[in-house]
Structure 1
């Protein structure tokens, strides 16, 4: 009886199996990438540094209705966009990028100042819906740069995790720019739990840097959408690093030597108001006791940082404008007289001079 029942059930199921036939595969949604419409040579002129180059791009089609943000990306020829930089973005098919931004990036990517070379451009189309971005084909465009050796970008913290809060004009501390790789920025200091962003100009919300995916840098140069925040999970000391050329960042808990609570830190040297006779006191941050600042008029000479009005602890380095001082290091050269806002980090010795 058991064997017979199996045959009966098989006979009953066969017509059902045959009626189903093969299962149809899901439909393939066709997508169309976006591309740069013009490959005419780009000739950059210093007098037009604040003007914009207009990139018209073709519309992307994701196969479904969605808003799209178009990013213009650039990289060196033959690099297969291994380390592209986002020049600018917009939610329309017209993307504006300043002459100074293209010039700076092209020089960083290998075109010598004042010379002509090729760069590859493409469009990264990012949908508003939870779909993957699509990348357009590379377009090779000739770029002629101008000499811009002193164009250095300064970046500042803003947000609930930082000292100024969400005020873009509240003595916002700068990131410390590497003296050799001017696209590399480091800030080691105390952060509250919460979010923060990075601004390029005090008092202005663009250009604004953040992240949309938690791993790469996103930027609104002024014509697109603001990025999401960088996040700090719990209050503490972290090292925040940004590499603008690579488009990457990291936030790592600080594991170095415990901070020293110095009573005072000052500047001293023949470039400073007190010469080598007396320190000129800096102001300690009430938010982070390792961050010091001062606005001072300097002469073209040399200086150092020192703690507690004594030479027991002092910091110096041989790079002007920005660098990382070390104990008993060389005198810091001041190559151009002027009034500077000077920031110093007594935890890691980094400094930067702003005008």
Structure 2
């Protein structure tokens, strides 16, 4: 498809050529050749976190030929951008990802594509069909598009592992597993995380490595204090239960707070002191869940019916932060709410309509 444009003289005549254009009073015509054909290097891919920095897909096209009726006043007006949308959205209401492009190709990294999908609430490990097109701008009010190509992509759950201390104790047969950690949210000496202790399995230590060869923190001389001495005794919680563990490797302070989680807020029944909807802990999965009727309104997660320990909105959908802002339900209905505190310092939640 070819198309012509009459570019207003005030737009076409720039800087040093302005006076001559005014003198000649010439209408400038811009003609173009066939629209580029957009292609991709792949049409289906499964994204992997270990390849986050790699290129996921490259889009290629031939350049759009632009011809001016007067080369003396030509300017580089053509701009390319690559737009990616879900097939369901079909570019309505914006795109998942927009890349300014130069030349005849554009690439998207695994991380950039995966992040865009997760922010759009795409389900990890489930394939989603995407659409891509090239937008070409010749003037602010004139955009033309290439053909649309389809791409099936399977995103991954973005698992963030913060700098950590390992929890080795009776709860995990004194092993150093990545499933039992406290993490440093700010990359400093302060660590936090959650662990479930059963009766008779209350003793543990913190370790700087996934073995006993690093610094190991046991009981200090005073309550709430740790010691890195080789002969330090074990740390211990007071009884069976689910705990928020904190440790500071600079001050050698540590704490263990038993917690029970709930949902509070207008979306779940109210903000009153006793309006919490209890979440139930499943020791087999390590998840807290509740199925409840919710209205289109706001809510938060909080522990022990108090705001001392609460989780709200994080950096993107599905991510939580300590003391974050209120979360929101967009549409009233019955939902399964899941709180996942298994990844130390990187807490998440999901809401599924029932």
TM-score (norm 1): 0.35
TM-score (norm 2): 0.36
Greater fraction strand? 2
